Structure 1
Amino acid sequence: MPAESFELPFEGKLSSDNRWVIMADLIPWTEFESEYSAGFSAEIGAPAKSFRMALGALIIKEKLGISDRETVEQIKENPYLQYFIGMSSYSNKTPFDASMLVHFRERISAELVNNVNQEMVKKMLELASSIDTEKKTEDARELANAALSTEKAAEQGNTLRNRGKLILDATCVPSDISYPTDLNLLNQARKQTERIIDLLYEQIKGILEKKPRTYREIARKDYLEVAKKRRVSQKERRKAIKKQLQYIKRNLSYIDQLIVAGASLKSLTNRQYKMLLVVAEVYRQQLWLYENKKQSIDDRIVSLSQPHIRPIVRGKAGKAVEFGAKLSASYFDGYAFLDHIRWDNFNESGDLKTQIESFKNYTGYYPESVHVDKIYRKRENRSWCKERGIRISGVPLGRPPKNVSKEKKKQALQDERIRNCIEGKFGQAKRRFSLSRVMAKLPHTTLTVIAITFLVMNLSTHLSRFFCAFLCLFWKNRHFLAIDITKHYDFASYRQQKLIFNLA
């Protein structure tokens, strides 16, 4: 639906150069509507919201950096946002409840968002080819024809050479959890077992004469005695951990006794039953760490409410360990793509071949060069890239030569500058958007939030380029005036800048 046909309660029309109207035209809503609606039934339940409304609301939330409730209020007040989510006319009523955003994140998978992101970037590159500006680079002209697939190129008999620069890197996306310590984790696990004992005892209150004694007040006192100290010795910490392990062991045995006496776990909610399983696993892991005097264990749980989160050892300055999902991403021509994401730690160098092949399937040709950090530059990846005529950045393996030419030094410096682009994208995702701390709690909704952030970043990139192109065309029409003014005025002066823009 064009912006001009959007009905307003007052005279007037939506502006076609508004950012939300521009972004709405870029996203391929209709192409993925059938894939989104395939999971719904036409006979059971209330009519589902459209894909444009669901994804559009999530994009608005991420773009503006607001909460779910504020997102609904902004949509209610702004006709441009209502047009963006697919409404045909303005309404002063909320289109859906704030709780629906939770269901939107559950229904839209990260894979679907990535597919939308790829198709959207293709459309952006096609639009970029239609804008003829003097500052268009050679790489932008080549990547603008990315819609041609490898099969079409083969039918035409063209031999495509390597083109473009591909940048690869990995990062960790922290989740919203408190910094985990063994003692604090055991204290939380102990309190959960106490709640479950209370619930199970209520079922057989008349059968048992006395309620199992959990010593919860003494256990809390033992925990606070160590937790409140500014400095705790290793001996004191181990002693406190041992006490909490003993309390949890007693509580778990009480739960077994209550079940034998007639209590049923069916009375527990799904969340409470899952918590019981998590507590049992935490007890097993912490007991093994205590008895073996170790600091790490496979699949270590660091959060009771989010047991899927794992510690990711990154070795960064100030943050040796991060807690969240690890992802590897690719970057070319200003656009970023989410390629691989997992909750467990992995070696990102194993993704290089897959990412390069994905680039070839997307553009129709291999990149001219791949810019990566040291962990990617292993012998296997170097030989694989050499067979395909791809230059991998960085110094060659082996002993460094004594005399390095100026050209090689200049090339290495230029490669590192190019690789900084993806670091800037990670910084943008964590400082401007929500990847510095993901607030979603479920594993699949967290992945969806991360994927939407990459989509919104690409939208922001295109918007900035669109307005830059607009400014270039604006100054091109007034080129004669700009030349005359720059001959007589220095742009470093505020007064002269003001005079120039007033004359323009």
Structure 2
Amino acid sequence: MYRRPTGQMVIEDFLLPFEGKLDANNRWVKLAKIIPWEQIENEYADLFPSNTGTVAKPLRMALGALIIKERCGFTDRETVEQITENPYLQYFIGLEKYQIEPPFDPSLMVHFRKRLDQKIIKKINELICQSEKHKEQKDKDPKDKDPKDKDPGNPSGSGNFEVWKPEVNKGKLLLDATCAPADIRYPTDLSLLNEAREKTEKMIDTLYNQELGLARKPRTYRKRARKDYLKFARQRKPHVKAIRKAIGKQLGYLRRNLGTIDFLLKCDGHGNLSARQSRELETIRILYAQQREMYQTRTHRIDDCIVSISQPHVRPIVRGKARAETEFGAKVAISMVDGYAFIDHLSWDSFNESLGLKQAVEDYKKRYGHYPEAVLADQLYRTRENLSFCRKHGIRLSGPPLGRPPLDSRREKQFAHQDMRERNAVEGGFGVCKRRYGLARIMARLKETAESVIALQFLVMNLEHRLRLLFCHFICAILKTYKDQNYTVYAVI
């Protein structure tokens, strides 16, 4: 059940327990002004079709708490503590007055991330960027324009007749992809099998009880298996044969444990596995089948390879970077326009980002009403299909042309150098998102919450970019005022 708020509150309505008012120039107050809460409310209210049950938390409280967490890098518990202590944060999440009690339990943060999934966060990001676009267009329109002014294409001067003009491509679209690594241990075949063996041993302990009527508890050889694993783990540079021998032993122990679990599940009166253990058991069965197939075929690659038992959705992403050739997490393809980042595609499986160029260009036209003048991307995007698509719509795709280079390539080199400089913006966006907002390590465990966190981090980065633009507009307005009054302005660097 969800109740729509009667109206979005303003800073003057927030009540403090002491005399005074909130500062309108505070960063959280400014941030609350640029978020279209009422438009987002319509998307959030549709998630609660029922009119019965407990009333859900308002959209502003849910989204505001998630933005605070990602912007400041807090944990769920620390986020609630900071909101309880700070009146500006309480205003940001929509409370009408300051309160000393926590507005909600920290466990609700998980439900907020599930409710506001990746798709909804992407829509919110679009609404915020579109509101900035409409504001810029409104500022550019002349205020004293008379609709009856004569137009060269409308000699009579009646009505609002507009002259048809051919569509002109404007703006530049930046494309790139990166990986958002998950918070997992670096996976090896032997470490995964050892972890699976230990978990199955705990499952056997849970399922077995004396009422089953068995003469003795089934053997697991856990001490011997642990000893074999530690014997291998202490080797600094193990040989290939030693690795294969250790993997074979762990596969044998795991096969025996899985057989014991199947036997105990068939017996009447066995213990019950928890929901988490049941999910892990299904993952371990798949892991065992994959490892056995690679062991028998003597290969090191398999489709949908499991690299974490607790997060089975995580997949290896081969990036070929100097720091890490392979990363384990979600792959994200984004497009950037004027400093605003949009998620084009997010997947836990590896994909070729060049296939999304057409859709990214069409999304650009849907947002801004025209195609971009140029698409700045790396060499991977310069396929024949993409080049043909860009040529058809009059779009310049960055990079050298296919075929033999021309004799005089100075102009192409100048374009390539300029494109490389401008494309640094998207690389810088990745760096800011990874260093500042936690994209370098996604701490969320569930698949849907991890996707929500990734989308939130790009949303917060866009909000920060818009705050900087507001500050720049403020400085420009002050300088313009001084210039109109014939004051001399000195810049101190």
Within 1, Cα distance between the matches of 2:197 and 2:453? 32
Distance 1:117 1:446, change over 3 A: same
The corresponding residue for 1:187 is 194
Within 1, Cα distance between the matches of 2:138 and 2:29? 19
Q: Is the 8 A contact 2:212 2:267 kept in 1?
A: no
One of 451, 454, 472 as aligned partner of 1:447? 451
Q: 1:18 Cα deviation (Å)?
A: 1.9
Q: Which has the larger displacement, 309-318 or 119-128?
A: 119-128
The corresponding residue for 1:299 is 304
The corresponding residue for 1:161 is 168
Q: Is the 8 A contact 1:310 1:324 kept in 2?
A: yes
Q: 1:206 Cα deviation (Å)?
A: 4.2
Within 2, Cα distance between the matches of 1:246 and 1:423? 47
- Residue 343 of structure 2 aligns to a residue whose secondary structure is strand
Q: Is the 8 A contact 2:212 2:270 kept in 1?
A: no
- Residue 405 of structure 2 aligns to a residue whose secondary structure is coil
Q: 1:256 Cα deviation (Å)?
A: 1.9
The residue identity in structure 1 corresponding to 2:43 is E
Within 1, Cα distance between the matches of 2:67 and 2:339? 19
The residue identity in structure 1 corresponding to 2:314 is I
Q: Which has the larger displacement, 311-320 or 19-28?
A: 19-28
One of 168, 178, 186 as aligned partner of 1:171? 178
Q: Deviations over 1:84-136 (max 9, x none)?
A: 1111111121100111111100111111010011111111223344568xxxx
The corresponding residue for 1:436 is 440
- The answer to whether structure 1 residue 220 and structure 2 residue 251 are counterparts is no
The corresponding residue for 2:146 is none
After superposition, where does 1:190-209 map in structure 2 within 5 Å? 190-202=197-209, 205-209=211-215
- The answer to whether structure 1 residue 105 and structure 2 residue 113 are counterparts is yes
**Which ranges in structure 1 are unaligned for 5 or more consecutive residues?**
133-153, 493-504
The corresponding residue for 1:259 is 265
Within 1, Cα distance between the matches of 2:235 and 2:377? 45
- The answer to whether structure 1 residue 318 and structure 2 residue 326 are counterparts is no
Q: 1:44 Cα deviation (Å)?
A: 4.5
Distance 1:205 1:404, change over 3 A: farther
Within 2, Cα distance between the matches of 1:228 and 1:475? 67
Distance 1:39 1:339, change over 3 A: same
Instruction: Name whichever structure is richer in helix by fraction.
Output: 1
The corresponding residue for 1:366 is 371
The corresponding residue for 1:495 is none
- Residue 168 of structure 1 aligns to a residue whose secondary structure is strand
Within 1, Cα distance between the matches of 2:167 and 2:88? 43
Q: Is the 8 A contact 1:475 1:482 kept in 2?
A: no
Percent identity over paired residues:
50
Distance 1:260 1:6, change over 3 A: closer
**Which ranges in structure 2 are unaligned for 5 or more consecutive residues?**
1-8, 141-160
The corresponding residue for 2:217 is 211
Aligned-CA RMSD value:
2.0
The corresponding residue for 1:244 is 250
- The answer to whether structure 1 residue 281 and structure 2 residue 286 are counterparts is yes
Q: 1:349 Cα deviation (Å)?
A: 0.6
- The answer to whether structure 1 residue 411 and structure 2 residue 415 are counterparts is yes
Within 1, Cα distance between the matches of 2:139 and 2:105? 41
**Matched pairs, number:** 464
Within 1, Cα distance between the matches of 2:476 and 2:385? 45
Q: 1:264 Cα deviation (Å)?
A: 5.4
Given the two structures, how large is their TM-score scaled by the length of structure 1? 0.88
One of 55, 63, 72 as aligned partner of 1:47? 55
The corresponding residue for 2:158 is none
One of 409, 425, 431 as aligned partner of 1:427? 431
Q: Which has the larger displacement, 17-26 or 34-43?
A: 34-43
